[in-house]
Amino acid sequence: MFDYFEREYKNSDYLVGWVDAFASGNSLGRGLVHKAIHLKKGEDPDFPENCKLEKQNLPSTFLGVVPKAWMWIFMLPFANNLGMRFVNFAKFISGYLTNNKPYLQGHAEYAFLLDYVPNWKFMYKPGSMIQYQSFIPKENAVDAFSEILRICQKRGIITWLAVFKKHKPDSFLLTHALDGYSMAMDFPVTSINRKKLWELAGELDETVLKFGGKFYFAKDSTLRPETVQRAFPKKNLETFHSLKKKLDPKGILETDLYRRIMGIW
């Protein structure tokens, strides 16, 4: 998958990878890549019909019969490690059987794949879910993500959905972006696994730091202040806090996220 991204990203408008996190051994890291290219003028056989606003909405029913708002109910029997192992395997096989055949798809259909199942998040009931997303420099990405997948399997806490993306660096003060890749992993949270899941996140943090990676604050639920200090240059953190004190001297503009990961300053 990594080699495919490196080879194809300059020739693609969109690239996103899905990883079967249950696969191990020689199959570790297997998955599918969704590549999209905008049609050029004159290439769409149904233009301008396909550009109408109503065409940008996802279908509200499955097979034209079952309301998609109910689909999460049918997913409940698979909302466990055994069920998700089967779902991930089935997705991989279905992608293999399509044999890279191109097809026409609207922007919303490509970009909002999870919305094919409205209320999909309800399948995590009665618990909830968190997403753990790490960003790794491209020269370390394969080794880092391979190790992350192995650690999850060793701890018996395997992500039900893993998404792989390529990124470009930027110059923001506390940016997560770098010249490399990210893997976002969705984990179910229950009263039984919460403590072990947070311990796993701490172990994954160490792996990310070892490979020179970064974290995305907007999606974080588990980071600790000491991890943030190690992930970002000291000068950047000092500049951020200097600006914070100058612009918010009374500490009014603070979120729970800020207090959790920056509270020691």
Residue 200 burial class via C-beta count within 10 angstroms: exposed 0-12, middle 13-18, buried 19 and up:
buried
pLDDT class of 265 with cuts at 50, 70, 90:
low
Q: Which domain holds residue 12?
A: 2-232
Q: Which two tokens stand for residue 183?
A: 């893997």
* Max CA separation in the chain (angstroms): 60
Provide the CATH number for the domain around residue 15.
3.30.70.2520
Structural domain includes residue 237: no
Contact yes or no for 231/210 (Cβ under 8 A): no
Structural domain includes residue 33: yes
Structural domain includes residue 257: no
Structural domain includes residue 60: yes
Least confident of 77-91, 103-117, 205-219, 221-235: 103-117
Q: What percent of the chain has pLDDT over 90?
A: 71
Number of domains into which the chain is organized: 1
Residue in the block written with tokens 């001297």: 249
Residue 73 burial class via C-beta count within 10 angstroms: exposed 0-12, middle 13-18, buried 19 and up:
exposed
Structural domain includes residue 238: no
Average pLDDT over residues 97-108: 82
Structural domain includes residue 249: no
Residue 227 has pLDDT above 80, yes or no: yes
The arrangement of strands across the sheet holding 214-215 comes to 31-36, 14-19, 161-167, 180-189, 128-137, 214-215
Residue 99 has pLDDT above 90, yes or no: no
**Parallel, antiparallel, or unpaired: how do β-strands 180-189 and 214-215 relate?**
unpaired
pLDDT of the residue at 56: 76
When the pLDDT of each residue in the chain is averaged and rounded to a whole number, the result is 91
Q: Which two tokens stand for residue 81?
A: 């490690």
Task: Name which of 23, 44, 26 is nearest 90 in CA terms.
Answer: 23
Q: Is 88 helix (H, G, I), strand (E, B) or coil?
A: helix
pLDDT tens digits, 104-131: 888 888 888 777 777 888 889 889 999 9
pLDDT tens digits, 245-263: 999 999 999 999 999 998 6
Measure the CA–CA gap between 157 and 194, rounded to whole angstroms.
Answer: 10
Residue in the block written with tokens 């409205």: 118
Contact yes or no for 44/190 (Cβ under 8 A): no
Structural domain includes residue 200: yes
Residue 134 burial class via C-beta count within 10 angstroms: exposed 0-12, middle 13-18, buried 19 and up:
buried
**Parallel, antiparallel, or unpaired: how do β-strands 66-67 and 128-137 relate?**
unpaired
Residue 42 has pLDDT above 90, yes or no: no
Measure the CA–CA gap between 123 and 128, rounded to whole angstroms.
Answer: 9
Neighbouring C-beta atoms of residue 211, cutoff 10 Å = 18
Q: What percent of the chain has pLDDT over 70?
A: 98
Average pLDDT over residues 78-93: 95
Contact yes or no for 154/203 (Cβ under 8 A): no
Residue 53 has pLDDT above 90, yes or no: no
Structural domain includes residue 99: yes
